[in-house]
Amino acid sequence: MTQIQSALKSVRASLQEGVELVAVSKTKPVALLLEAYEAGQRDFGENKVQEMALKAATMPEDIRWHMIGHVQTNKIKYMAPFVHLVHGVDREKVLKELDKQAKKVSRIIDCLLQVHIAQEETKFGWSVAELEALLPHMSLYPNVRVRGLMGMASNTNDEHQVRREFLDLNDLYKKHAPAQHWDALSIGMSGDYSIAMECGATHVRIGSAVFGARNYAP
Protein backbone atom coordinates (compact mmCIF):
# COMPACT_ATOMS: atom_id res chain seq x y z
CA MET A 1 0.00 0.00 0.00
CA THR A 2 1.42 3.39 -1.02
CA GLN A 3 1.52 6.45 1.23
CA ILE A 4 -1.42 8.00 -0.64
CA GLN A 5 -3.46 4.81 -0.43
CA SER A 6 -2.74 4.58 3.29
CA ALA A 7 -3.75 8.23 3.81
CA LEU A 8 -6.90 7.67 1.77
CA LYS A 9 -7.84 4.67 3.89
CA SER A 10 -7.33 6.71 7.06
CA VAL A 11 -9.44 9.64 5.82
CA ARG A 12 -12.23 7.33 4.68
CA ALA A 13 -12.27 5.66 8.11
CA SER A 14 -12.87 9.08 9.68
CA LEU A 15 -15.88 9.95 7.51
CA GLN A 16 -19.44 9.65 8.70
CA GLU A 17 -21.70 7.30 6.78
CA GLY A 18 -23.11 8.95 3.67
CA VAL A 19 -20.44 11.66 3.42
CA GLU A 20 -18.78 11.73 0.01
CA LEU A 21 -15.03 12.29 -0.19
CA VAL A 22 -13.87 14.54 -3.03
CA ALA A 23 -10.11 14.03 -3.27
CA VAL A 24 -8.67 17.43 -4.15
CA SER A 25 -6.02 16.59 -6.72
CA LYS A 26 -5.17 20.05 -8.07
CA THR A 27 -1.48 20.44 -9.05
CA LYS A 28 -0.89 16.70 -8.51
CA PRO A 29 0.42 14.51 -11.34
CA VAL A 30 -1.76 11.82 -12.90
CA ALA A 31 0.44 9.08 -11.41
CA LEU A 32 -0.59 10.09 -7.89
CA LEU A 33 -4.26 10.28 -8.84
CA LEU A 34 -4.01 6.77 -10.26
CA GLU A 35 -2.72 5.53 -6.91
CA ALA A 36 -5.88 6.88 -5.30
CA TYR A 37 -7.97 5.48 -8.15
CA GLU A 38 -6.48 2.02 -7.64
CA ALA A 39 -7.56 2.27 -4.00
CA GLY A 40 -11.15 2.84 -5.11
CA GLN A 41 -11.35 6.64 -5.20
CA ARG A 42 -13.57 7.92 -8.01
CA ASP A 43 -14.39 11.52 -7.04
CA PHE A 44 -11.60 14.02 -7.73
CA GLY A 45 -11.65 17.81 -7.35
CA GLU A 46 -9.75 20.30 -9.48
CA ASN A 47 -9.70 24.10 -9.38
CA LYS A 48 -8.50 24.82 -12.93
CA VAL A 49 -10.57 23.71 -15.90
CA GLN A 50 -7.59 23.17 -18.23
CA GLU A 51 -5.83 20.90 -15.74
CA MET A 52 -9.03 18.96 -15.10
CA ALA A 53 -9.66 18.51 -18.83
CA LEU A 54 -6.12 17.25 -19.44
CA LYS A 55 -6.38 14.75 -16.61
CA ALA A 56 -9.85 13.62 -17.70
CA ALA A 57 -8.51 12.90 -21.19
CA THR A 58 -5.85 10.51 -19.89
CA MET A 59 -7.54 8.89 -16.90
CA PRO A 60 -10.28 6.22 -16.63
CA GLU A 61 -13.72 7.30 -17.80
CA ASP A 62 -15.55 6.27 -14.63
CA ILE A 63 -13.95 9.10 -12.63
CA ARG A 64 -16.35 11.77 -11.40
CA TRP A 65 -14.69 15.17 -11.87
CA HIS A 66 -15.63 17.99 -9.49
CA MET A 67 -14.85 21.61 -10.33
CA ILE A 68 -14.15 23.14 -6.92
CA GLY A 69 -12.41 26.39 -7.88
CA HIS A 70 -13.60 29.83 -8.93
CA VAL A 71 -15.30 29.34 -12.30
CA GLN A 72 -14.21 31.46 -15.26
CA THR A 73 -17.06 31.68 -17.76
CA ASN A 74 -14.78 31.47 -20.81
CA LYS A 75 -13.51 28.06 -19.64
CA ILE A 76 -16.88 26.41 -19.01
CA LYS A 77 -17.13 25.04 -22.56
CA TYR A 78 -14.06 22.88 -21.95
CA MET A 79 -15.56 21.05 -18.99
CA ALA A 80 -19.21 20.96 -20.08
CA PRO A 81 -18.94 17.55 -21.81
CA PHE A 82 -17.70 15.68 -18.75
CA VAL A 83 -17.80 17.57 -15.42
CA HIS A 84 -19.76 15.70 -12.73
CA LEU A 85 -20.46 18.54 -10.27
CA VAL A 86 -19.54 22.24 -10.30
CA HIS A 87 -19.19 23.30 -6.66
CA GLY A 88 -18.47 27.01 -7.00
CA VAL A 89 -21.31 28.68 -8.91
CA ASP A 90 -21.12 32.13 -7.36
CA ARG A 91 -22.80 34.48 -9.83
CA GLU A 92 -25.57 34.53 -12.42
CA LYS A 93 -23.16 34.93 -15.32
CA VAL A 94 -21.79 31.46 -14.53
CA LEU A 95 -25.28 29.96 -14.39
CA LYS A 96 -26.12 31.42 -17.80
CA GLU A 97 -22.94 30.11 -19.40
CA LEU A 98 -23.29 26.68 -17.76
CA ASP A 99 -26.81 26.44 -19.12
CA LYS A 100 -25.69 27.52 -22.59
CA GLN A 101 -22.77 25.08 -22.79
CA ALA A 102 -24.75 22.20 -21.26
CA LYS A 103 -27.40 22.62 -23.95
CA LYS A 104 -24.73 22.47 -26.67
CA VAL A 105 -23.55 19.05 -25.46
CA SER A 106 -27.07 17.80 -24.62
CA ARG A 107 -26.41 17.53 -20.90
CA ILE A 108 -27.94 18.73 -17.67
CA ILE A 109 -25.00 19.84 -15.54
CA ASP A 110 -25.21 19.45 -11.77
CA CYS A 111 -23.93 22.32 -9.67
CA LEU A 112 -23.89 23.86 -6.21
CA LEU A 113 -24.48 27.52 -5.40
CA GLN A 114 -21.59 28.98 -3.44
CA VAL A 115 -22.66 31.13 -0.50
CA HIS A 116 -20.29 33.65 1.08
CA ILE A 117 -20.10 32.55 4.72
CA ALA A 118 -16.55 33.58 5.69
CA GLN A 119 -15.39 36.82 7.27
CA GLU A 120 -12.77 37.33 4.56
CA GLU A 121 -13.66 39.43 1.55
CA THR A 122 -11.38 37.26 -0.59
CA LYS A 123 -13.90 34.42 -0.57
CA PHE A 124 -16.52 34.28 -3.32
CA GLY A 125 -20.23 33.55 -3.15
CA TRP A 126 -23.81 34.79 -3.04
CA SER A 127 -25.14 36.60 -0.01
CA VAL A 128 -28.22 35.03 1.58
CA ALA A 129 -30.40 37.79 0.13
CA GLU A 130 -28.96 37.29 -3.37
CA LEU A 131 -29.44 33.53 -3.17
CA GLU A 132 -33.04 33.79 -2.04
CA ALA A 133 -33.77 36.30 -4.80
CA LEU A 134 -32.30 33.89 -7.35
CA LEU A 135 -34.09 30.67 -6.39
CA PRO A 136 -37.54 31.53 -7.81
CA HIS A 137 -35.93 32.06 -11.23
CA MET A 138 -34.00 28.80 -11.59
CA SER A 139 -36.40 27.68 -14.35
CA LEU A 140 -34.50 30.12 -16.58
CA TYR A 141 -31.67 27.57 -16.62
CA PRO A 142 -33.23 24.26 -17.70
CA ASN A 143 -29.88 22.63 -18.49
CA VAL A 144 -28.51 23.26 -15.00
CA ARG A 145 -29.58 21.28 -11.95
CA VAL A 146 -28.77 22.89 -8.62
CA ARG A 147 -28.22 20.11 -6.10
CA GLY A 148 -27.46 22.28 -3.08
CA LEU A 149 -24.98 24.69 -1.56
CA MET A 150 -21.24 25.06 -1.11
CA GLY A 151 -19.34 27.22 1.35
CA MET A 152 -15.84 27.93 2.60
CA ALA A 153 -15.35 28.88 6.23
CA SER A 154 -13.01 31.62 7.42
CA ASN A 155 -9.33 30.70 7.53
CA THR A 156 -9.06 30.81 11.31
CA ASN A 157 -8.08 28.64 14.25
CA ASP A 158 -11.31 29.64 16.00
CA GLU A 159 -13.33 26.43 15.77
CA HIS A 160 -16.40 28.14 17.23
CA GLN A 161 -16.43 30.62 14.35
CA VAL A 162 -15.96 27.88 11.75
CA ARG A 163 -18.77 25.84 13.30
CA ARG A 164 -21.06 28.87 13.40
CA GLU A 165 -20.42 29.61 9.71
CA PHE A 166 -21.09 26.00 8.73
CA LEU A 167 -24.23 25.81 10.86
CA ASP A 168 -25.57 29.04 9.35
CA LEU A 169 -25.11 27.55 5.88
CA ASN A 170 -26.73 24.29 6.97
CA ASP A 171 -29.72 26.24 8.27
CA LEU A 172 -30.03 27.95 4.88
CA TYR A 173 -29.67 24.59 3.13
CA LYS A 174 -32.37 22.95 5.26
CA LYS A 175 -34.69 25.93 4.77
CA HIS A 176 -34.74 25.51 1.00
CA ALA A 177 -33.78 21.86 0.37
CA PRO A 178 -37.31 20.38 0.43
CA ALA A 179 -38.80 22.81 -2.10
CA GLN A 180 -35.66 22.88 -4.26
CA HIS A 181 -35.05 19.10 -4.11
CA TRP A 182 -31.49 19.62 -2.91
CA ASP A 183 -29.35 16.75 -1.66
CA ALA A 184 -25.83 18.18 -1.40
CA LEU A 185 -24.03 20.44 1.07
CA SER A 186 -20.34 20.81 0.23
CA ILE A 187 -18.44 22.16 3.24
CA GLY A 188 -15.19 21.18 4.88
CA MET A 189 -11.60 20.73 3.78
CA SER A 190 -8.59 18.93 5.29
CA GLY A 191 -8.39 21.25 8.31
CA ASP A 192 -12.07 21.47 9.23
CA TYR A 193 -13.93 18.53 7.70
CA SER A 194 -14.64 16.96 11.10
CA ILE A 195 -16.52 20.12 12.10
CA ALA A 196 -18.22 20.20 8.70
CA MET A 197 -19.58 16.68 9.18
CA GLU A 198 -21.03 17.71 12.55
CA CYS A 199 -22.75 20.54 10.67
CA GLY A 200 -24.44 18.44 8.01
CA ALA A 201 -21.86 18.11 5.22
CA THR A 202 -22.70 15.63 2.46
CA HIS A 203 -19.45 16.31 0.55
CA VAL A 204 -16.00 17.14 1.97
CA ARG A 205 -13.16 18.42 -0.22
CA ILE A 206 -9.90 16.95 1.07
CA GLY A 207 -6.51 17.42 -0.54
CA SER A 208 -3.48 17.64 1.73
CA ALA A 209 -4.74 14.92 4.10
CA VAL A 210 -4.73 12.54 1.11
CA PHE A 211 -2.02 13.76 -1.24
CA GLY A 212 0.21 15.72 1.13
CA ALA A 213 1.12 19.39 0.75
CA ARG A 214 0.51 20.70 -2.75
CA ASN A 215 3.46 21.36 -5.03
CA TYR A 216 2.68 24.47 -6.99
CA ALA A 217 4.44 24.79 -10.30
CA PRO A 218 6.84 27.76 -10.44
At 124, is the pLDDT very low, low, confident or very high (cuts 50, 70, 90)? confident
Confidence of residue 122 (pLDDT cuts 50, 70, 90): low
* Mean of the per-residue pLDDT values of the chain: 94
Domain-embedded: residue 214:
no
Domain count, the chain: 1
Using one digit for the tens of pLDDT, what is the confidence trace for 21-41?
999 999 999 999 999 999 999
Residue 161 domain-assigned (yes or no): yes
How far apart (Å, rounded) are the C-alpha atoms in residues 139 and 187?
Answer: 26
CATH code of residue 25: 3.20.20.10
Q: Is residue 218, in this structure, part of any structural domain at all? A: no
Q: Is the pLDDT of residue 101 over 80?
A: yes
Tell me the per-residue pLDDT of 159-209, one tens digit each, with 9 for 90 and over: 999 999 999 999 999 999 999 999 999 999 999 999 999 999 999 999 999
What is the Rg, in whole angstroms, of the alpha carbon atoms belonging to the chain? 17
Where do the H-state alpha helices sit in the chain? 3-14, 30-38, 49-58, 76-79, 92-104, 128-134, 159-180, 193-198, 208-211
The pLDDT, as a whole number, for residue 215 is 55
pTM to 2 decimal places: 0.94
Residue 123 placed within a domain: yes
Q: With respect to residue 156, please indicate whether it lies within any of the assigned structural domains.
A: yes
Q: Tell me whether residue 116 is in a domain.
A: yes
**Neighbour-count burial for 126-135, b at 16+ CB within 10 Å, e otherwise:** bebeebeebe
Residue 215 lies in a domain: no
Alpha carbon 78 to its chain's center: 18
Q: State the alpha helices, DSSP H only, in 39-155.
A: 49-58, 76-79, 92-104, 128-134
The band of 69, judged by pLDDT with boundaries at 50, 70 and 90, is very high
Answer whether residue 196 is part of any domain: yes
